[in-house]
Structures are given as structure tokens and as C-alpha cells.
Structure 1
Amino acid sequence: MASYDRLRTGGSPRPPKNADTWWYAAVAGEAAGSFSTRVRTRTRRACLGAVLLLTVVYAGLVLTATGRRWGDAAVTGRRADPAAVTVLREHPSLAGATTLSLVLGCVALVAVGLIRKRYVLTGAAAGGVVTALAVTGLLQWYAPRPRTVDTAGALVPSGFPSVQTTLALGIALGLVLVVPYRSRALVVGAATLWAAAVGAYTIATGQHRPGDVIAAALVVLAVTSGLLAVIARKGRVRPGPRRRGPALPGLPATVPLALLALAGLGAGLWLLGDTLALPAAAPYDPVQLRLAHRCGQALAAGVAAAAGLTLLALLRRVDVDGPPAAYRLGGPFVEAAGVPHDGDLVGPFTEDRDHEIS
């Protein structure tokens, strides 16, 4: 509590929280036009939008015969794409490197938070990754889909959404909670580029279809946005400091990320019209298969990059690493309050300090 808040006689003392501004932060967080309310509103809308897009992707690429045929053509087309074949043949160690990078990413996410002593935010970030993986597992096991069997008659397990991409992008977007505010754009942007590369590798090796990677990106975006909405509901956000000078440390990562999102979505949507016009049965033209593979790679990379950019845009000038801002009043109360003893903290009470909080 503030220095001019006297305990009520016979009442139970409330411990001071958040730099002695718990009462003001609680009032400010519940105000209709407060900063916390605005952040909560836009993150909640982003969560609902990601869920809606996930539903559209599921209906279009899993439940329809055309979507399933396009996904199968994209996976088969990796053998007709000389670039993918050359990379996989000349770099066989990519499989082990991908697995190692996922392990190191999990360790780095937790280690950064613990080193910076952000224990609650570290737990929230780890919980977000676990929740995204749980949602991915539930969709893989219980989401309705046509039964697919292989040549031996065995049931083919579903890969919708991709577990590897969910884990990679969950780590990348979870870093917004544990890294410092000034280096957030650089770190999250670089991690999102790595997550997009992991998704591209799973498509090139035939482990997942492009729709699986796209769905994983939307699942992670929905879970992370929902988590941020809860954090904002608790009043744990505050306005971030404005950067001074022309130097923007996040540009080396955000500019390539924006270019990947624009180029991937643009090229993927442009090629999608040609690749959807596949015949209902084999044989397929190798050129069409190669275009389907490249179209799927472009769309998957574009959606993954767009997910990272969307989260950075939602948290523009929003700091989740620190106590909430103190509640401030304007008008005659401030004029009568004089100069308070708590620095910049402005309270609703007058200078005589003879009052009680019920």
C-alpha cells in the first residue's frame, strides 16, 4: 500500500504488492478504457480469430476430398522437387540437428526465465507450450477425419497438426514472456524463423502435410494469445518504454520475417489455384506435384511467419516483464493532492492524509 494509506483500526492488514500500488493497479485494470483492458481485448480477439482460421483449415484440408488430394500431392511432390531432394541427400544430419534444436529450445526457454528470476512468467510460458502440445494431441486422436490406410492395410495415423512445429513455434512465441522488452522483437523474430525452418523440414521429409504445419501455427497462436489475455486480465501488463533514436534492434529479425510472410503467403496463394486442379486419380503430372510441394512449403512458411508477426504486433509497446503501472487520477483530486511522497504515484486523496481504506 502507499505511504499515505493508514490501516483501518481492527482490520486485517493487506500486504503490499507490485511496488506498493496494488490498490491502484486493481482499479486501473478493471476500468473500461484502461491499458490492461485494451490489451486483453485485442489478445482475446486474436485468440478467437486463430481458432476460426484453424476451423477453416481443418474443414478445407482434412474434411474435403480436394484438400486431402492437395496435401497428398504436396507430400508426394517432394520427390519431384530437385531442391528438396538435393538438400536432404547432401545434409543427412538435418534430422538429428532438428531434434537437438528442439531440445535446446526447451532448455533455453526455461533457462532464460530462471536466470532473469521471472519464475511466474517462466511457468506461464512452459504451460503455454504444454497446453499447445496437449491441444495438438487431442486433435490428432479425436478430430473426425476419413480413415486412411496404407498399402498393407494398416490405419495411417493422423499428423494434423504437426507436433514438431507446435513445439518449435510454442518455444518461439513463449519467449515473449521471458526475454527483456527491448530485445523481444529480435529474439522472437529469430526464433520464429527457426520454427518456420523446422516446419519446412517436416514437409520436405514427408513427415507432415502443409496443412499440418499451418494448423500447428494457428494452435500455438491461439493458445499464446489466450494466455496473454489472462495475464492482461490479472493486470500484469504495462506500457512499454518508447525507444529513442533511429536504432531499432529488432529489424534484423523482423524484416526477414515480414518478407517471408508476404512472399510465402503471396506465392502460395498464387500457386494454389493451379495445384488444386489435380485429377481425381493417379497418375499425376510431375510438374503439378512439384508445384503442389512448393505451394505447400510457401503457405506453411508464410503462416508460421505471420503468427510470429501477429504476436509481436499485439504486444507492441506492451511490457509483460514487470509490475503494472500505478493508477493515476486527473481533475480536482490531483490538484488538491499536492506532491505525493511516492515519486510519480498520484492518488485520489488530499494532502492531510487523514483517511482510511475500507
Structure 2
Amino acid sequence: MASYDRLRAGGSPRPLETGDTWWYAAVAGEAAGSFSTRVRTRTRRACLGAVLLLTVVYAGLVLTATGRRWGDAALTGRRADTAATTLLREHPSLAGLTTLSLVLGGVLLLAVGLLRKRYALTGAVAGALVTAVALIGLLQRYAPRPRLLDTVGAVVPSGFPSAQTALALGIAFGLALVVPHRLRGPTVAAATLWAGAVGAYTVAAGDHRPGDVIAATLVVLAVYSGLLALLARKGKVRPAPRSPLPQTLLATVPLAVLAVAGLGAGLWLLGDTLSLPAAAPYDPAELRLAHRCGQALALGVTAAAGLLLLALLRRVDVDGAPAPYRLGGPFVEAAGVPRDGELVGPFTEDGDHEIS
């Protein structure tokens, strides 16, 4: 029911069921300023903003010589960062644990949705995850970029964007839609931190550059914002109660601290790392600084994406659609079978419902 569609005082106490309201409520739900329209508007803007930022990141870090040099320095600087090298050397099982966590995360996503019998929503989330990974595969294969050669003259495959980060963050965002509304905040916070750790590992292990992680985050954010806009367009969203303040702080404070600290430190260090010489040799201290700058920026962008998703889903419930609107239900049943030439409408003689 729309916010201005109310039951008459003293009317029928029978709760509304599927098909109990009529088509006018569907039209009212699409009116300017309605809840579905507001959700659709802000999610479409978020999708467009993520696409524009992805374009800027691609142009700045892939198509420009300065951006490529910074990415190469951040990738090479992992060897000069003693903290990262020591961690990877002492814990070689991290590679297997990262892969295992991605598999378990996907299983958890499907299990939660199926156990809660949200089959359509689970299918939509799985489709969004597959779409994000497919888009990343297309970008890696067909996005124009300069030909990069390794030391033996072979073409270096593109890692832009990072498939591992996209898969981890896609699982995190998918869990935000299939878990109960009261658990959404803590789930998004924990899953986003896990996705940030997966992205940080790929950079520290030399599998991806920081720009690859940032681009993957923006791709996932654009795809899931588009999914939310589609759900709102189909009328699959409804208002949700306000979350308790402690629960809200538990979800937003860690992500906000990580986003502010990561973006702040990364942007502060970026000015020093962009002044790298055009050719080797490089100072190991500068390479280490570039690596840490890239890690900070990647973590900050990932945390900011989690915060933005929570903002888009603020007081929005996708845990089941509102009552569909069609002409039928108890109104027509109470009115009886119409005679020839008699107009049939949603209102009956008892008048237990009105739309103001």
C-alpha cells in the first residue's frame, strides 16, 4: 500500500493478502515522490556515478604513462615492503585460504537465500554476481590498453579489473540483500572488510595492481546499484523500520574509519609517489611508499563502497515484495457477481477502505 492509502477507522481487521488491493495503488507507487521512485532515483544515480568513476580510473591508471608507472611502482614496491613480504613468506597458506574463502562465501550466499526461501531474490543476486564477473572478463580481454611486454618479450596479460576482488565484494553485496533486514548492517561491515582483505592480498602477492582492485570495486557497485534500481522499478522494495543506533554504529563506524583513513593516507602519499622518475633505477623507499599508497587507496575505496551500499539500502527492505495490485480480492468478492451493465469497482457497500 502507498503511504497515503489507509484503512477506514473501524473497517475490516482482515490483513491484506496477495491481490487484495487494486490497480490504483500501483499507479500511486509510481508517482513522483513515492518510496519506490526515490529508491530507484538514488540507485540509478549511484550506478551512473560508479560508471563515471570507473571511466576516470581507467583513463588515469591504464591509458596514461604516469598512471601505468605508478601502478608498476606499487606492484614492484611489494618486494621492498618488509611487512608484506614477511607475512607472505611466513604464511604461504594464505593463497589457498583466499580461494577457499571465496568458495565458502559463494556457498553461504546461496545457502542463506535458499534457506530463507527467497528464490527469486537469490537468483537476481546470483545473476548480478555473474554479470559483474563477466563484465570484468570482457574488460580484461577487450579494453584498449598499451601492449606491455615482460623481460622475455611476451605480452603481459591485463589484470584490470581484479576478478578476485569483484567476486569477494559481489558476495558481500549479495549477502546484504538476502540476509534479514535487522542483520544487514553487521553483515555488510564484516563482508566488506573481508573483501578488502582479499583485495589487499592480491596486491601484496603481486597478482594485481591497486588500480585493478579499485576498478573491480566500482564495477560491482555499478552492477548492484543497477540491480537495486531494477528491483525498485518492479515494485520489489518497501519501507523498513529504522535500525537501532548501536547496530547502526557497529556497521558504519568500522567502514567509515577505514574509508577516511585509507583515502586520506592514500591521497596524501599519492603526491609523492606520482613524482617517480620515468625510468629505472628507482629508490626502494619510493617503491615501498607507492605500494603502501596503493594499498591504502584500494582499502579506502572498498570501505567507501560498503558505506554507500548501506546508504542506498537505508530503511529499504527487499525481503519480499509488497502486495501486488490487481482488481480482485475481498472487495470484488464482497460486492458479489456484477449484473449486466453494472460497474465493478474496488469499493463495496460496507465501505471498509478508502484512498485519500
Query: Is this contact kept in 1: 2:22–2:346, CA < 8 A?
Result: no
Which residue is equivalent to 2:143?
A: 143
SS of 2:182's partner is coil
Which residue is equivalent to 1:249?
A: 247
Which residue is equivalent to 2:107?
A: 107
Query: Is this contact kept in 1: 2:50–2:221, CA < 8 A?
Result: yes
1:276–1:351 distance in 2 versus 1, CA, 3 Å: farther
Post-superposition offset of 1:30? 1.4
Matched, 1:230 2:230: yes
Residue 283 of structure 1, aligned match among 281, 284, 287: 281
Which residue is equivalent to 1:262?
A: 260
Query: Is this contact kept in 2: 1:237–1:320, CA < 8 A?
Result: yes
Query: Is this contact kept in 1: 2:255–2:303, CA < 8 A?
Result: yes
Post-superposition offset of 1:105? 0.4
1:22–1:272 distance in 2 versus 1, CA, 3 Å: farther
Aligned-residue RMSD, C-alpha: 2.5
Q: Sequence identity of aligned pairs in percent?
A: 80
Q: Distance in 2 between matches of 1:220 and 1:22?
A: 37
Which residue is equivalent to 1:188?
A: 188
1:146–1:19 distance in 2 versus 1, CA, 3 Å: same
Post-superposition offset of 1:144? 0.2
1:284–1:190 distance in 2 versus 1, CA, 3 Å: same
1:75-107: CA deviation from partner (whole Å, max 9, x where unpaired): 000010111011111111100000000000000
Post-superposition offset of 1:352? 4.3
Query: Is this contact kept in 2: 1:29–1:233, CA < 8 A?
Result: no
Matched, 1:166 2:166: yes
Mapping of residues 1-358 of structure 1, within 5 Å: 18=18, 20-21=20-21, 23=23, 25-243=25-243, 246=245, 248-324=246-322, 349=347, 351-352=349-350
Q: Distance in 2 between matches of 1:320 and 1:211?
A: 32
Post-superposition offset of 1:148? 0.6
1:91-139: CA deviation from partner (whole Å, max 9, x where unpaired): 1110000000000000000000000000010001101100000110010
Query: Is this contact kept in 1: 2:17–2:323, CA < 8 A?
Result: no
1:14-45: CA deviation from partner (whole Å, max 9, x where unpaired): xx974634635522331111100000000000
Q: Distance in 2 between matches of 1:253 and 1:74?
A: 30
Q: Distance in 1 between matches of 2:289 and 2:139?
A: 28
Query: Is this contact kept in 2: 1:200–1:297, CA < 8 A?
Result: yes
TM-score, normalising length from structure 1?
A: 0.85
Query: Is this contact kept in 2: 1:19–1:323, CA < 8 A?
Result: no
Which has the bigger relative contact order, CA under 8 A and spacing at least 6? Answer: 2
TM-score, normalising length from structure 2?
A: 0.86
1:242–1:69 distance in 2 versus 1, CA, 3 Å: same
Aligned residue pairs total 323
Q: Distance in 1 between matches of 2:101 and 2:228?
A: 26
Q: Distance in 1 between matches of 2:252 and 2:190?
A: 8
Which residue is equivalent to 1:334?
A: none
* Structure 1: gaps spanning 5 or more residues: 5-15, 328-339, 341-346
1:212–1:22 distance in 2 versus 1, CA, 3 Å: farther
1:18–1:263 distance in 2 versus 1, CA, 3 Å: farther
Moved over 6 A (4+): none
